With several copies, the nearest count.
Chain A
Amino acid sequence: MRFSGYASVSAIITMQTFTNKAGSVIVDKLILVIQENKQYLSDIDGLTGDGDHGINMNKGFTMCREELDKNPGDLSYSLKVLAKILIMKIGGSMGPLYGKFFKAIGTALEGKEEIGITEMGEALKAAVNSIASISPAKVGDKTLIDTLVPAQAAYERAQVEGKTLSEALEAMKIAAAKGRDSTKDMVAKLGRASRLGERSRGVLDAGATSCCLILHVIADAGKDILY
Chain B
Amino acid sequence: MQKFINDPSKVVDEMLEAYIKVHADLVSPTENERVIKYKYAPVEGKVGIVTGGGSGHKPAFIGYVGRNMVDAVACGEIFSSPPAQMFLDAIKVADAGKGVAILYGNYAGDNMNVAMAMEEAEEEGIQVKKVVANDDVPSAPKGEEASRRGVAGEILMWKVGGAKAAMGGSLDNVIEVAQKAVNNTRSMGIGLSPCTIPEVGHPNFTIENGKMEVGIGHHGEPGIEVVDLEPSAKVAERICNVILPDLPFNSGDEVVALISGLGSTPLMEQYIVYNDVEKILTEKGIKIYHSYVGNYFTSLEMAGITCTLMKLDDELKKCIDFECDSVGMRQFQRL
Contacts and interface: CB of A to CB of B under 8 A. Distances in A.
A and B touch in the complex (CB under 8 A): yes
B120 to A, nearest CB: 8
B328 interface: no
Interface in A70-126: 87-93, 95-97, 99
Interface in A180-194: 190-192, 194
B81 A91 contact: yes
B161 interface: no
B82 A91 contact: yes
Contacts of A88: 83-85, 88, 116
B51 to A, nearest CB: 15
A91 B86 contact: yes
Contact of B199 (A51, A90, A92, A196): A51
Nearest to B79: A50
Given A87-B116, A195-B205, A195-B222, A95 B83 contact: yes
Interface in A144-190: 190
Contact of A92 (B9, B77, B220): B77
A195 B220 contact: yes
Interface residues of B, number: 28
Given A96-B109, A96-B112, A135-B108, A195 B84 contact: no
A86 to B, nearest CB: 8
Nearest to B147: A136
Contacts of B329: none
B1 to A, nearest CB: 13
B268 interface: no
Contacts of B80: 52, 56, 91-92
B233 interface: no
Nearest to A95: B83
Chain A: interface size category: 20 to 34
Contact of B222 (A56, A89, A92, A194): A194
A93 B85 contact: no
A95 B84 contact: yes
Interface in B96-128: 108-109, 111-113, 115-116
A46 interface: yes
Contact of A89 (B79, B85, B205, B220): B85
A95 B200 contact: no
A93 B113 CA distance: 8
A92 B76 contact: yes
Nearest to B76: A91
A166 to B, nearest CB: 34
B228 interface: no
B208 to A, nearest CB: 14
A134 B112 contact: yes
A197 interface: yes
Contact of B197 (A50, A92, A195): A50
Contacts of B85: 87-89
Interface in B280-308: none
A156 to B, nearest CB: 26
A136 B140 CA distance: 15
Interchain residue pairs A-B with the least CB separation, the first 5: A91-B83, A96-B112, A88-B85, A93-B109, A92-B80
Given A51-B199, A51-B200, 17 more contacts: A50-B204, A52-B199, A88-B85, A91-B80, A91-B83, A91-B109, A92-B81, A92-B109, A93-B81, A95-B83, A95-B84, A95-B112, A95-B113, A190-B108, A194-B222, A195-B221, A197-B222
Interface of A: 46, 50-52, 55-56, 87-93, 95-97, 99, 134-136, 190-192, 194-197
22 contacts: A46-B200, A50-B200, A51-B199, A52-B199, A52-B200, A88-B83, A88-B116, A91-B76, A91-B77, A91-B83, A91-B113, A92-B80, A92-B83, A93-B81, A95-B112, A96-B109, A96-B112, A191-B108, A192-B204, A192-B219, A195-B220, A195-B222
